[in-house]
Structure 1
């Protein structure tokens, strides 16, 4: 076992979630060896061709990564780990929302052209221009321990406030008993001022989600200027807001993977899968909740 590889206990949790049948009727190369190779690449950010020989042919690892990205295997594994945590009572539904900017390496640009003009644009691949140059932004709703419930990739200049509806719709945690609709509702949602908009607050009220989002000064002034028609000030729990650092800690843990902290993938779908795999490891390895100790 090399540094960063799956431990025995981690593999025991992942093994039942691996696809059993080969799509072309052949035999899989050892899943654990291949996944450790994928983790090595994500942890180091190195090109696939530089994969050490102990993980088998680099092309096998890449093709397995690509195939399981296309068929949704990574997302399915993450959902199953979420359901297991929910069944054990370890999933904290006092959720938090935030985003992080990721610098895109020059190798991330220049994806093969094809399809419509909209599909050929950098924006379609989640690449944009911001103060940091060529960047991507990762938007996440995390549980109360900073583990991702859902993530979304956009160009770096995309506004945070518009991503809340997208993220809420992506959360689908299967019920512990396996019967009934997946859970989508949070006990509460905490975010910074970037998510304070009338549309977002109205959406959260309709879904009956308690909100802890500070109101920016310009919105306060606008509400007061409108008098009674401006409505009441939104409720804000300052003590509850202090726990918002959990989502930031989650970003820091996942950015220990260099291929997450810097984007090397040309395709948005491949970078999203890279983020998802880091999130899977976070669900396996996240430290216990010590916020109340």
Structure 2
């Protein structure tokens, strides 16, 4: 019996346009306009490129190109944002208890329903360098080291080690802890993180044993609004602003697609 050939491969450009339409509008996959082709084709290719790391490689290539052109600002800024998960996103229950499954899929229960938190380090021009997801109730303080470990920009041509160290880091009081400051000093990253009031009081109560107050540059901290602008630009994509994806890996890919287009839209830095 002669094997039957498959159908004609749907053009990548058409499929990517359909995937971007879904990320921008948050429309259910089944309701995508016919001009983009069968919705199953779009979803399967979106999922396949998430599973094989295609979206991550595209964003990493943009990081490398920007760094090679001198357009990547290594003054980092850390922050997080909580997004509400649609009720349809809370259906992934495979293995373990419901609580374990929710944590595995970065879903946290709050008074308002299910939430997910996006933790991010952005570069000085308001574009993503590293991100990861946790349930919405998780604290920011414990996630900073994981974010720093995720910063990695490959050299052009893949020659040499990737660059991982920021020139500086600015973050709000949520990241103020002795462990975080010790890690940043060990990695020789100057940081502008204001001290919490209770930490100030504890240091003063201990007198000379409390040590000196941490260095803090108000001018560096004032630039932290760049990460807040990145969060706002992301949430212009409705599938990012409200999580519709059941799997954390799929929602992470949705955020990556938004970040890719934020990188592509950025105008080159003309400063000399």
Smaller-chain TM-score bracket: over 0.9
Residues 37 and 220 of structure 1: CA distance in aligned 2, closer, same or farther (over 3 Å): same
Residue 103 (structure 1) aligned to one of 84, 94, 97: 84
Map 1:1-293 to 2 at 5 A. 28-111=9-92, 113-117=93-97, 121-287=101-267
2:3 corresponds to: none
Matched position secondary structure for 2:129: strand
Following TM superposition, by how much is the alpha carbon of 1:130 offset from its aligned partner in structure 2, in angstroms?
3.1
Contact 2:49 2:55 in 1 (8 A): yes
1:11-58 CA distance string (max 9 Å, x none): xxxxxxxxxxxxxx9974211111110001111111101111111111
CA distance in 1, matches of 2:82, 2:107: 11
Contact 1:191 1:212 in 2 (8 A): yes
> What TM-score do you get using the length of structure 2 for normalisation?
0.93
Matched position secondary structure for 1:98: strand
Following TM superposition, by how much is the alpha carbon of 1:116 offset from its aligned partner in structure 2, in angstroms?
3.8
Aligned residues: 266
Matched position secondary structure for 1:215: coil
Following TM superposition, by how much is the alpha carbon of 1:181 offset from its aligned partner in structure 2, in angstroms?
1.0
1:168-214 CA distance string (max 9 Å, x none): 11111101352111111000000000000000000000100010100
Following TM superposition, by how much is the alpha carbon of 1:286 offset from its aligned partner in structure 2, in angstroms?
2.6
Following TM superposition, by how much is the alpha carbon of 1:122 offset from its aligned partner in structure 2, in angstroms?
1.1
CA distance in 2, matches of 1:58, 1:50: 8
Matched position secondary structure for 1:121: helix
Contact 2:118 2:134 in 1 (8 A): yes
RMSD: 1.8
Matched position secondary structure for 1:122: helix
Following TM superposition, by how much is the alpha carbon of 1:121 offset from its aligned partner in structure 2, in angstroms?
2.0
CA distance in 2, matches of 1:217, 1:177: 47
> What TM-score do you get using the length of structure 1 for normalisation?
0.87
Contact 2:94 2:101 in 1 (8 A): no
Matched position secondary structure for 2:109: strand
Unaligned runs of 5+ in 2: 1-5
Residues 286 and 227 of structure 1: CA distance in aligned 2, closer, same or farther (over 3 Å): same
CA distance in 2, matches of 1:279, 1:229: 45
